[in-house]
Chain A
Amino acid sequence: SAVISQKPSRDICQRGTSLTIQCQVDSQVTMMFWYRQQPGQSLTLIATANQGSEATYESGFVIDKFPISRPNLTFSTLTVSNMSPEDSSIYLCSAGAGAFLMNTEAFFGQGTRLTVV
């Protein structure tokens, strides 16, 4: 199994500012993902964080708004840029242990609860 530490756990930010969320995994993992969960909604994938290359973004999400870094196999960051109240959500980091085969459980960090005022 993999243990994922995500920080900050929550933050209240002013509109127009940026917040960087960190995700640390206790073992090397092939794939890391960032999800957004808007209030009362399900999880939506923002992007797949690729080690050594640019992240792969899902439809509706762009690099300028959600820049992602993945400098090594255990760490990734997600930045929420130029925030507006609509960005208020829980942001979750996810990783698959080892080779991340189809039947591998996806582990999640505890989430970052972001409120933009």
Chain B
Amino acid sequence: AQKITQTQPGMFVQEKEAVTLDCTYDTSDQSYGLFWYKQPSSGEMIFLIYQGSYDEQNATEGRYSLNFQKARKSANLVISASQLGDSAMYFCAMREPAAGNKLTFGGGTRVLVKP
């Protein structure tokens, strides 16, 4: 079974609008961390935001916020006020200490911001 599922292979969003990228995960551990990374065409992996399984509040980092619904095992990324530079691949990832703290990545969502 997939540990991390991103159901949207690609999305278009109008500049200045908000976009939500879906991520669901599968774990039986109580302690885990969820991450979102951005990968532009240059290939580098840029950390965006983190949510811990015990965090009661949704994480926010500037224009990025994470809609964490623990019971549904979802951790959707919301990008507000999209900019042309937001066009990239976005990966959701999970870390489980019980699995050696390695990151497991979802399949990614390609976002294209239209002017």
Contacts and interface: CB of A to CB of B under 8 A. Distances in A.
A100 B32 CA distance: 13
Size bracket of the B interface = 20 to 34
A110 interface: yes
A102 B106 contact: no
B103 A100 contact: no
**Chain A interface secondary structure, helix, strand, loop or mixed?**
strand
A74 to B, nearest CB: 18
A102 B32 contact: yes
A96 B45 CA distance: 14
26 contacts: A31-B101, A42-B91, A42-B107, A43-B45, A44-B105, A45-B102, A45-B103, A48-B100, A48-B102, A92-B45, A94-B45, A96-B101, A100-B101, A102-B52, A102-B97, A103-B33, A103-B50, A105-B35, A105-B50, A106-B47, A106-B95, A107-B47, A110-B42, A110-B44, A111-B45, A113-B43
